[in-house]
Every structure is written in C-alpha cells, then in structure tokens.
Amino acid sequence: MKASWKTGISFGLTSGVITTLGLMVGLHSGTHSREVVIGGIVTIAIADAMSDALGIHVSEESKNSVSPNHIWEATLATFAAKFVVSASFIIPVIFAPLDRAIVISVVWGLLLLTVLSFFIARAQAVAPWKVIGEHLFIALTVVTITHAVGDWVKSFVRAE
C-alpha cells in the first residue's frame, strides 16, 4: 500500500474510533438521548473528518519532501477513513436500544483498533500484544474519562 494511503487510513481510522467513541459515551452519559448521540456522530463524521483531512494535508505539506499527489492522496484517504468509520457507529444506535448500542459501539471500535494495531505491529516486526495493548489502553482511557465528564456535566447542569 502506498505511504499516502497508509497515513490517511491509519490516522482516519484511529481518529474516527477515538473521537466518535469519546463523543458518544460522553453524550450518552450526559443525556441518554438517541437523537443527541446520532447528531454527535453525524457532526463528527462530517466536520471532524474534514478537519482531520485538512490537518493531514497541512502536516504533509509542511514536510516539504512529498509530492502534491501524495499530499492529496493522504488528505482524501484521511477524510474517507474518518467519515466511514465514524458513520459506522450510527448503525447500532439506530437498531439497538441506546444502552446496548453504546456497548456494541465500544466493542466495534476496540475491534477496529485491534485489527489496525495488529497490522502495524506486524509491519514493525514487534510483538502485537504490546501495540494492541497500548492502543486499547488509550481508547479505554478516553471512554472512561468522557463517561465521567458526561456524568459531571449532567450533575452540574441539573444543579443550576
């Protein structure tokens, strides 16, 4: 696979999982509203995918060592990966009870990160469990913190 596509897909997939799960878990714990969670997912799939794609675009441009074709391929791959991964989290929210949809989404996100991490570890010739463990630890930390923040916001807003 071309380096530009590896850059975009790995960044877009990782960002899509972490950002979307964090937002979903935080919104769910703060509101318990299916509509709010879906609205958040759609917002991430569009606005954050475009933002991440521009971020990769500027980052690749700043290297001054890659071709314009490489830059645009990385940009488009980032947008496509982030959009598709983020949007995939809508499916369980639409078809399952919201509490169950959040669990399904966390499992789905962790599965995606596990598969990506396995391929990264294999390409680097390192033990997969180290890379997988590191990435899953970070993802679960984000999920835990955003859940706590959602609970805090809910209690803070109710207190007023």
Nearest to 110 by CA among 51, 34, 25, 5: 25
Q: pTM for the complete prediction?
A: 0.91
Give the pLDDT means over successive 10-residue stretches in the chain (160 positions): 88 96 96 96 96 94 90 94 97 97 98 96 94 96 95 79
Parse the chain into domains and list their residue ranges.
3-154
| pLDDT of 120 | 93
